[in-house]
């Protein structure tokens, strides 16, 4: 078993323009497995934020030096890979991920950095003939303010850093005060590999985030988090017409067609809903099952759920750790309790474990409809409402009758039929016989209130760039007499 006492997480410092320094204050970070103090993390002051932004603005060679940017991203990726277990240990301690899952997040984060080190921003040539050359190039915006959530801090941070750097931007990052430790450790590890001014990592609360958004020298805000917070960012960013990339909440629907192979799809549906205890923006959060197979699929899902092992994230036998913080634990518990009080039935789970920590088992809830808060809201935890339907048109209408539009999926033995149905789902990403797969080369983002812009792939460059049209008239040859 991994020994969590091996990690030194006290004394972490801010990364500010290439220098490691103490914060102006501290915040208590709890261990979600025990609800006891894990560490006191530094918090940045407004003056430190101003200094970081000023330093990021002064950087000049970075914008033009593509080779330097690639080398920096490659070096950061190598450092992450070399320190995978240490970073994963911190990640497990502060957000409760099973250690193996935390290792996977660190490896995926390194992959995102390496992907951008090895890809080029698109160059669109619209005309190139005897008369003219017209092309569209991607230019850096300047300083990108990156605001990171608590649920997958390392992966989301690296996705933002990688694309911002690849275009030529600098980054001032604000981790969540609920999960700052892994990013602070990352900052210490890469401090010598990143040119001064290019990256600062400054944890803080809502006031610091608001100051970052409103700062006149910040040209773009890249945010992952709730719809409400995203709306507030749009308001605060409006005076400066800042560029925005917003990946906001999701309430992803999965539709299981009547021809689905229950034994095959049940384990994959379960992981689509409950991976990382459901604390994933693109997790399955509503499950629509054809009435003919609903009872059989619920039984199959219950059988999978009852194999789950909750406990110490560093025990290799454990498959699910605690919810990442007490606030989210109370939200999930409240939604399940309300569902039951309004007539819902719990097929499995439903109650917290009788032990310290934020442990809530995978929970299946039936006998609810669209009016129930567990269906209406983004639960962001291990509680899945299961709803039956009679016609595919009805299932699609119900899946789309929401303000959310992040992801959706269809499950079937007929891939062509599933593809036809999934195209009708109003979400930024849709899948057939899978859910939530996000890759560095695949655009990802939301429709409706689930966000603006797209991350990843070539499309992702455009969210972090100003598009400039370059039109050149070519000299005409003199007419011969």
pLDDT at residue 481, rounded to an integer: 46
Maximum pairwise Cα distance, the chain: 97
pLDDT of residue 2: 54
- Angle value at C-alpha 397, between 395 and 399, nearest 5 degrees: 65
> Would you state the pLDDT for residue 60?
86
Please list the residues that pair with 432 across neighbouring strands.
410
Confidence at residue 8, expressed as pLDDT on a 0 to 100 scale? 67
- Answer left, alpha or beta for residue 241, where phi above 0 means left and psi between -120 and 50 means alpha: left
Tokens of 113: 């950095």
From the CB of residue 319, how many other CB atoms can be counted at a distance below 10 Å?
Answer: 17
Please report the pLDDT score of residue 291 as a whole number: 98
| Residue 457 DSSP label | H
Contact 32, 357 (CB under 8 A): yes
Rounded Cα–Cα distance for residues 170 and 217 (Å): 12
HEC secondary structure over 374-406: HHHCCCCCCEEEEEEECCHHHHHHHHHCCCCCC
pLDDT tens per residue across all 481 residues of the chain: 555 555 668 899 999 999 999 999 999 999 999 999 999 999 999 999 999 999 999 998 999 999 999 999 999 999 999 999 999 999 999 999 999 999 999 999 999 999 999 999 999 999 999 999 999 999 999 999 999 999 999 999 999 999 999 999 999 999 999 999 999 999 999 999 999 999 999 999 999 999 999 999 999 999 999 999 999 999 999 999 999 999 999 999 999 999 999 999 999 999 999 999 999 999 999 999 999 999 999 999 999 999 999 999 999 999 999 999 999 999 999 999 999 999 999 999 999 999 999 999 999 999 999 999 999 999 999 999 999 999 999 999 999 999 999 999 999 999 999 999 999 999 999 999 999 999 999 999 999 999 999 999 999 999 999 999 999 999 987 555 4
> What CA–CA distances, in Å, run from 172 to 23, 112, 154, 201, 217?
15, 18, 15, 6, 11
Written as six digits, the tokens of 413 are 């033995």
Instruction: For residue 83, give both structure tokens.
Output: 């320190």
Closest by CA to 455, choosing from 428, 474, 425, 431, is: 428
- Asked if 218 contacts 144 with a C-beta cutoff of 8 angstroms, the reply is yes
Q: Cα(23)–Cα(40) distance, rounded to whole angstroms?
A: 11
Angle (deg, nearest 10), helices 262-274 and 291-305: 60
Classify 200 as helix, strand or coil.
strand
Q: Residue 179 CB: number of other CB atoms within 10 A?
A: 26
Helix (H) or strand (E) holding 212: helix 206-214
Ramachandran bin of 122, using left for φ above 0, alpha for ψ from -120 to 50, beta for the remaining angles = beta
Q: Which residues are known to be catalytic?
A: 247, 281
CA-to-CA distance for 259 and 297, rounded, in angstroms? 12
Question: Distance (Å, rounded) from C-alpha 246 to C-alpha 449?
Answer: 10
- Is-contact 410 250, C-beta < 8 A? no
Contact present, 439 and 461 (Cβ < 8 Å): no
From the CB of residue 130, how many other CB atoms can be counted at a distance below 10 Å?
A: 7
Predicted TM-score (pTM) of the model is: 0.95
- How much is the pLDDT for 9? 83
The values of phi and psi at residue 4, to 5°, are: -65, -20
* Residues sharing a CB contact under 8 Å with residue 48, sequence separation 6 or more, in sequence order: 14, 16, 21, 23, 24, 202
In this structure, are residues 83 and 189 in contact, taking their beta carbons and an 8 Å threshold?
A: yes
End-to-end CA distance of the chain: 89
User: For residue 387, what are the β-bridge partners?
Assistant: 288
- Report all structural domains of the chain as residue ranges with CATH numbers, in order of start: 4-248+446-468 (3.40.605.10), 252-432 (3.40.309.10)
Residue 476: predicted pLDDT: 85
């Amino acid at each position: 078993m991994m020994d969590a006492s091996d990690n030194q997480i006290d004394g972490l410092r801010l990364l500010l323009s290439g220098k490691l320094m103490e914060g102006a204050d501290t915040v208590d970070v709890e261990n979600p497995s025990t609800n006891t103090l894990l560490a006191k993390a530094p918090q940045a002051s407004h003056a430190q934020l101003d200094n970081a932004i000023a330093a990021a603005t002064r950087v000049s060679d970075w914008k033009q030096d593509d080779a330097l940017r690639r080398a920096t991203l490659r070096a950061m990726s190598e450092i992450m890979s070399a320190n995978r277990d240490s970073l994963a240990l911190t990640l497990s301690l502060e957000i409760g991920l099973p250690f193996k899952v935390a290792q996977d997040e660190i490896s995926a984060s390194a992959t995102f950095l390496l992907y951008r080190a090895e890809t080029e921003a698109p160059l669109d040539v619209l005309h190139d003939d005897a008369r003219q050359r017209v092309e569209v190039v991607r230019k850096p915006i300047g300083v990108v303010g990156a605001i990171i959530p608590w649920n997958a801090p390392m992966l989301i941070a690296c996705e933002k850093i990688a694309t911002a750097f690849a275009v030529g931007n600098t980054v001032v990052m604000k981790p969540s005060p609920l999960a700052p430790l892994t990013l602070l450790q990352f900052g210490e590890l890469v401090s010598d590999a990143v040119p001064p001014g290019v990256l600062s990592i400054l944890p803080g609360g809502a006031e610091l985030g608001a100051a970052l958004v409103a700062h006149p020298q910040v040209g773009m805000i890249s945010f992952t988090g709730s719809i409400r917070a995203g709306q507030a960012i749009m308001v605060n960013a409006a005076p400066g017409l800042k560029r925005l990339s917003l990946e906001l909440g999701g309430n992803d629907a999965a539709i299981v067609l009547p021809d689905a192979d229950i034994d095959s799809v049940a384990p994959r549906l379960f992981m689509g809903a409950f991976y990382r205890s459901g604390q994933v923006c693109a997790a399955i959060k509503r499950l629509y099952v054809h009435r003919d197979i609903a009872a059989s699929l619920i039984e199959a899902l219950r059988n999978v759920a009852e194999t789950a092992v909750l406990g110490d994230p560093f025990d290799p036998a454990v498959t699910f750790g605690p919810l990442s913080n007490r606030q989210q634990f109370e939200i999930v518990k409240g939604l399940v309790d309300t569902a039951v009080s309004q007539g819902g039935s719990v097929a499995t789970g439903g109650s917290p474990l009788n032990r310290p920590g934020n442990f809530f088992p995978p929970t299946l809830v039936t006998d609810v409809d669209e009016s129930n808060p567990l269906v209406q809201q983004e639960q962001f935890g291990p509680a899945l409402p299961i709803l039956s339907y009679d016609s595919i048109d009805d299932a699609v209408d119900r899946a789309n009758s929401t303000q959310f539009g992040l992801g959706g999926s269809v499950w079937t033995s007929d891939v062509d039929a599933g593809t036809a149905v999934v195209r009708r789902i109003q979400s930024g990403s849709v899948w057939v016989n899978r859910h939530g797969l996000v890759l560095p080369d695949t655009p990802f983002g939301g429709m409706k209130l689930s966000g603006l812009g797209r991350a990843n792939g070539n499309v992702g460059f455009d969210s972090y760039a100003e598009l400039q049209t370059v039109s050149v008239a070519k000299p005409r040859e003199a007419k011969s007499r």
